[in-house]
Structure 1
Amino acid sequence: MNMKIILLPFSGLYWLGTFIRNKFFDWGILQSKKYKKPVITVGNLSIGGTGKSPFVIYLIDLLKDKYLMGILSRGYGRQTKGYQFANYETTFEDIGDEPMQFFERFRNKIVVGVDEKRIRGIKNMLKDFNPDLFILDDAFQHRYVKAGLNILLTDYSKPYYEDEVLPAGRLREGKYAAKRAQIVIVTKCPDSFTEKERDRIQSKLNLQPSQALFFSRIVYENRVISSNYSFKLENLVNFHVLLITGIAKYNEILSFSEQNFETVTHLNFKDHHNFTNADIQVIEKKYKEISGNKMILTTEKDYMRLKHFQQIKNYLFYLPISIEIDRAEDFEKLILNYINKN
């Protein structure tokens, strides 16, 4: 019997539990705290892989020259508890790989904090730094904070309307929850995306008139970066690459690497994997088996967890990415209008 069919009754129970919880917030039985400063959440309905980190980076790039932003995350995978903020001595073990990625990119242009209790995190960041606005990473389900602008991401290859609630599927709550979003973005769209496909997805999403819909795609930069060097891809076409991934979905970077390097050997680990010395020994062994011009390549997020291993640091590089949004001016206008009104 299909395992999904077996799990569907449990998904029904999970759906009911999250539905009741959401209704408690809607009815005011559970309280959401509202803030005088703008609060933007970036999240999804699924348990990962929609491209939240590149999108948070997009927002930071958009706003960093105008506002002091507080970027607040739960800090998944960190070795600490409670409230922490990033400084020049912080490591991914203190705050998690994604917040570390934000801090490494932008340094003192933003404030990066983590706290599993977002209300406490906002309180401490207001006291310590008093940012102009907050961006809450992966907080769509964290309803104890009343965000003024909710941005919901859904993956083109597995949109939420084709998925089921846990454990039969990957949704954290029912599809009805998408109505809480003011903006919905379909991420990781292919380059060959057509108007017909766009219209089909828009019809399937069945959004409210008040909800804005955008589509985005991943763009790989034309370079690889290490702690000391940056090389253009056109100078590396004859290189043999050992690709290391520890992300929810690796298909895009694997495909891109295969198109741009001589050969690619791929080692995949689970999302947010905490690399050990034993893992590094496996990576070193595999790297030594590769001949010719070679390097170890990884994602920017995984680089945060790998760069501290001296054994591989000299030949470890990451491939930076960004995103492009259709109707970018309209999207940016929505963001700025919300901030200016609040």
Structure 2
Amino acid sequence: MQYLRWLLLPFSLVYGLMVIIRNWFYDAGLFKSCQFNLPVISVGNLEIGGAGKSPMTEYLVRLFKSEYKVATLSRGYGRKTKGFLIATATTTATQIGDEPSQFKDKFPDVTVAVCEDRVAGIERLKADHDLVLLDDAFQHRAVKPGLSILLFDYNNLQKPKLLLPAGNLREPFSGRWRADMMVITKCPHDLTEALMTKCYEQISPLNWQPLFFTSIAYQPLQDVQGNKANTIIDADTTVFLLTGIANPKPLEQYMGRFTTKIIHHNYPDHHQFTLKNIAKLAGEFSACRSQKKLIITTEKDVQRLGVHELLPALAQLPVVVQPIGVNFLNNGQQPFDTLLLNYVREHTKHN
């Protein structure tokens, strides 16, 4: 299938030309890019798919929420609503999208908003908030953030840098030089200095662009209500993985540390689960003769599993959730935090 995508290379050239012209219009001031008088931090990536934007956004929320009134602003991909919407305790993923729904579940006291027009969204939020975090907004040139964090998936650095549809890049690789900070995510925990140097050479950040390295921090399993689950996975456990995310391979590899008995129900990113999907899972789970078995899903997926028509079927299944976080390598956490905190302190109205 990957080789067939090379046949789409002419379309990638046309797409790339359009993106280059669009970016040039913004750089030249022909298209308006709005700045705001409060700190705005953007988290994004160049590729389609998961580079760890949600865990990074959550990391930033934890960093700032005790001192500042924080709002997250997302497009709300996959939602069935339009326009500006602020999440409440009863708002569902259908209304705001799975990632914003995840943010609201984890940070009920933080404002979680969605809006296709990020400029309009910030206008609605700026009067009552000290800081706005933009999730997946690197290509949203209509907003000029005060600080832009660009993420790269370590596992994709070796792949050809091809634009859509032949490749996975949303814009040319040279677009990375718009970022203020870069983070290589999903690195091995034991990443060597030699491999870090190789990553530097591949990305070639400018002198003023700090580059950080992070790995996935797998946290204790939880039940679907977010409480710690008393679950132990060992070699005798059969794990049914249920995912609808861009890149489930790291999770599958992590589970492989504990058991080789993994049955993966893998769906596309942002997949809207159906009763048919759950019935298939329940049937295979029931037919499995293993004495120890459970179903594991992700924080993002459990938001889409919470729709009313699926709840009765799910209630009969032992579903647990695998949360993840961000772990900085090479003693990078303190300088990363310091750069961000200094930016916000210098630009917030509290100063």
TM range (shorter): over 0.9
> If the length of structure 2 is used for normalisation, what is the TM-score?
0.92
- Residues 1:168 and 1:316: Cα distance change in structure 2 (over 3 Å): same
Which residue of 188, 204, 207 corresponds with 2:202? Answer: 204
Counterpart of 2:83 in 1: which secondary structure? coil
Which residue pairs with 1:178 in the alignment?
176
Distance in 1 (alpha carbons) for counterparts of 2:179 and 2:275 = 42
Please state if 1:116 is matched with 2:116. yes
Cα pair 1:154 1:160 within 8 Å, conserved: no
Find 1:218's aligned residue among 216, 219, 243.
216
Greater mean alpha carbon deviation, residues 33-42 or residues 282-291: 282-291
Question: Per-residue displacement from partner, 1:96-143 (whole Å, max 9, x unpaired)?
Answer: 0000000000101x100001111111122235xx11100000000001
CA distance in 2, matches of 1:275, 1:209: 46
Match of 1:276 in 2: 274
Give the Å deviation of 1:269. 0.5
The alpha-carbon deviation at position 217 of structure 1 amounts to 0.3
Deviations 1:260-304 (A, max 9, x none): 247221110000000111111111111111232322110110011
Q: How does 1:54-69 map to 2 (within 5 A)?
A: 54-69=55-70
* 1:36 matched residue in structure 2: 37
* 8 Å Cα contact 2:221/2:320 also seen in 1: no
Amino acid at match of 1:199: T
> Map of 1:255-274 to 2, 5 A cutoff?
255-261=253-259, 263-274=261-272
Tell me the CA shift for residue 160 of structure 1: 8.2
Query: 1:5-154, aligned counterparts within 5 Å?
Result: 5-108=6-109, 110-126=110-126, 130-154=128-152
Partner of 2:322: 319
Amino acid at match of 1:283: L
What is the percentage of aligned positions where both structures have the same residue? 38
Amino acid of the structure 1 residue aligned with 2:266 = N
1:242–1:265 Cα contact (<8 Å) kept: yes
TM-fit CA distance, 1:207? 1.2
2:167 is aligned, of 166, 169, 173, to 169
Q: Secondary structure at the match of 1:164?
A: coil
Measure the CA separation in 2 of the matches of 1:217 and 1:192: 9
Q: Distance in 2 between matches of 1:210 and 1:263?
A: 47
**1:340 alignment partner in structure 2:** 345
Work out whether 1:295 is the aligned partner of 2:288: no
Q: Distance in 1 between matches of 2:23 and 2:159?
A: 19
Residue identity matched to 1:15: G
Q: Is the 2:160–2:167 Cα contact (8 Å) retained in structure 1? A: no
The 1-side partners of 2:26 and 2:158 are apart by 22
Task: Give, in angstroms, the shift of residue 229 of structure 1.
Answer: 4.8
Structure 2 counterpart of 1:148, one-letter code? G
Amino acid at match of 1:325: F
Three-state SS of the structure 1 residue aligned to 2:312 is: coil
Code of the aligned partner of 1:76: Y
Letter in 2 for 1:267: H
Distance 1:300 1:27, change over 3 A: same
Q: Give the total of aligned pairs.
A: 338
Deviation at 1:68, TM superposition (A): 1.1
Cα distance in 1 between the residues matched to 2:213 and 2:266: 28
3-state secondary structure, aligned to 1:145: coil
Shift of 1:231: 2.3
Sort the Cα spacing of 1:301 and 1:228 in 2 relative to 1 into closer, same or farther, 3 A. closer
- The Cα shift of 1:213 comes to 0.3
Q: Is the 8 A contact 1:31 1:144 kept in 2?
A: yes
Q: Which runs of 4+ in 1 moved over 6 A?
A: none
Question: Per-residue displacement from partner, 1:240-267 (whole Å, max 9, x unpaired)?
Answer: 2211010011111111122224722111
Aligned partner letter, 2:143: V
Find the aligned partners of 1:91 and 1:340 in 2 and give their Cα distance. Answer: 34
User: Within 2, Cα distance between the matches of 1:284 and 1:178?
Assistant: 44
Distance 2:211 2:223 in 1: 33
Encode CA deviations 1:188-210: one digit per residue, 9 max, x unaligned.
00123110010011012111101
1:329 aligns with 2:334: yes
Q: How far, CA to CA, are the matches of 2:123 and 2:226 in structure 1?
A: 37
Which letter does structure 1 place at the counterpart of 2:301?
Answer: D
Letter matched to residue 30 of structure 1:
F
CA contact (8 A) 2:244 2:267 kept: yes
Aligned-partner residue type, residue 337 of structure 1? N
> Conserved in 2, the CA contact under 8 Å of 1:11 and 1:164?
yes
- Residue identity in the other structure for 2:69: L
CA distance in 2, matches of 1:208, 1:228: 41
Distance of aligned partners of 1:175 and 1:278 in 2 relative to their CA distance in 1, 3 Å threshold: same
Amino acid at match of 2:327: E
Taking the aligned partners of 2:5 and 2:269, their CA distance within structure 1 comes to 22
